[in-house]
Amino acid sequence: MQIDRPPATTPVTTTDLNTEIFMELLNLTQVKPGMRLGKAVFSSEGALLLPPGETLDENSLQMLGQHGVKDVMVGVRSPEPISLQNVSQPEDLLRHVRQIVTKRFGQTDIDHPHMRALFELAVERQGRLLLSCPGKVSPGKEALPSFQMPMPPKAALAPLIDKSHRIGTLPIVFQRLVSLLNNNDTTIDEIAEIITTDPTLTAKLLRLVNSPFYGLACTIDTIPRAVVMVGTRQLVMLAMGTTLITAFKGLPVSLVNMQSFWTHSLSTGAAARLLARAMNIPQAESYFVAGLLHDIARLLLFTQLPKHALYILSEAKRRRQSVHSLEQECLGFTHEELGKELLSSWRCPKDLITRVADHHKPLLDDFEKDEIIIPLSDMLSRALGYGSSGEIALPSFDDAVWEKLGLSPEELVEICRKLDDSVRHLRSLFTAAV
């Protein structure tokens, strides 16, 4: 990434962060953990890597290096994070932010206390994103499809499963990990033996369990130790999810941005783990993996049925409906039904299959508390703008869901603020894959 460098001895004065801050453009090798970004950093493809005001750490610096970033602007004084509540903004920016978020929340009950709290948080986050893209605040008009595409003939589900190898070759280590989960007599040594045959997987898992995402008090330097600290089944599930991201990272998908897809997947998984822990539901890591893989079948649709996928995406925009609501009409099945069959063909654990299969299932009066986690995590990810797997509209939950959730609007917002840190750390850990 090339940035025009000012004279090395001249600090740059700016008001980008609502305060006069002296900033210097430094080579990445000169940047130290604890420094704060003065300006947003983008990838060579134009994707936002880190917003202004971000406090840099070892993970974020490594992630920037992996994206080829050479120089960053850092503040000499530590600014406060951007907030639309304490920044004097032009009225058109505030109006534009609310237009974007209002459209996103269009099918929800925005007067409900939980949704209102999420709405205001989404406005704040959207404002930070727009502030990091100066000159790109004009609302403009929404580009709707100019004509209605003819609907392709219905597709068959079974042949798609037969072609599923085309979305990525499942590594041998994944198949061996699945076998471990289906064996009740698995030992720690057997798990360690399989995982350590893949040095890349081993390194990623150790980085993950040692990251702030887990917040363990001691350093974990071996896989057996990781098994003890995280749990046998939980670590195997994490290894499976990590392996799948790596296997699918090179997919040539033209209908969706893969970085955006995996950002949505990672944020859904992170939200699921945070919710499970807040609701005192055991095996929180298994919910992380379910969130990570909840939309995996959409990759199969994008690659094997591109005409159907394009029709669904364009019609959802034209009709202002959810993508999910049009899948049955166009395909004859939904992506979660396909996901169920896909994970079953991979012999994944039944609880993982069920959570992926039911993440759009209506929550009726007799639903269990844990059934809320993946649908709500998916909604939180989309409400706050963490990437996309193609879906636009947010689902609406009734009072029974919020009551059984057992979290106040303030507690939900606190989880969402933790989610921001979790997504940042996960993105740096999985950056080679997303």
Q: What was the pLDDT predicted at 177?
A: 85
In a domain, 6, yes or no: no
Q: Could you report the per-residue pLDDT of 66-123, keeping only the tens digit for each?
A: 888 888 888 644 334 445 554 445 567 777 888 889 888 988 888 899 999 999 999 9
| Residue 71, domain extent | 12-75
Q: What was the pLDDT predicted at 147?
A: 58
- Cα of 360 vs its chain's centroid, Å: 17
Does 172 lie in the same domain as 48?
no
In a domain, 5, yes or no: no
> How far is the CA of 137 from the CAs of 88, 94, 100, 388, in angstroms?
15, 9, 11, 21
What is the number of structural domains in the chain?
Answer: 3
Does 351 lie in the same domain as 214?
yes
Does 180 lie in the same domain as 133?
no
d(CA 325, CA 312): 9
d(CA 39, CA 64): 14
Does 205 lie in the same domain as 114?
no
- Of 29, 54, 75, the position where a domain reaches its end is 75
Angle at 362 between CA 359 and CA 367, to 5 degrees: 90
Tally of CB atoms within 10 A around 222: 12
In a domain, 399, yes or no: yes
Q: How far apart are the first and last CA of the chain?
A: 18
Tally of CB atoms within 10 A around 143: 7
Does 276 lie in the same domain as 183?
yes
In a domain, 7, yes or no: no
Does 170 lie in the same domain as 130?
no
Does 93 lie in the same domain as 27?
no
**pTM metric for this prediction:** 0.74
Does 120 lie in the same domain as 197?
no
Does 358 lie in the same domain as 272?
yes
d(CA 143, CA 405): 37
In a domain, 103, yes or no: yes
Q: Could you report the per-residue pLDDT of 337-363, keeping only the tens digit for each?
A: 999 998 998 888 899 999 999 999 887
CA 142, 143, 148, 154 dihedral sign is negative
Q: What is the CATH number of the domain that holds 349?
A: 1.10.3210.10
Does 228 lie in the same domain as 121?
no
Q: Could you report the per-residue pLDDT of 376-409, keeping only the tens digit for each?
A: 999 999 999 998 888 877 888 888 889 989 999 9
- 75, β-bridge pairs: 23
Q: What is the mean pLDDT of each run of 10 residues along the chain (434 residues)?
A: 35 34 70 79 70 74 83 60 50 79 88 94 85 53 61 87 66 82 81 86 85 80 87 83 74 74 91 93 88 90 87 86 89 93 88 92 82 94 90 85 92 93 79 47
Does 196 lie in the same domain as 49?
no
Does 305 lie in the same domain as 256?
yes
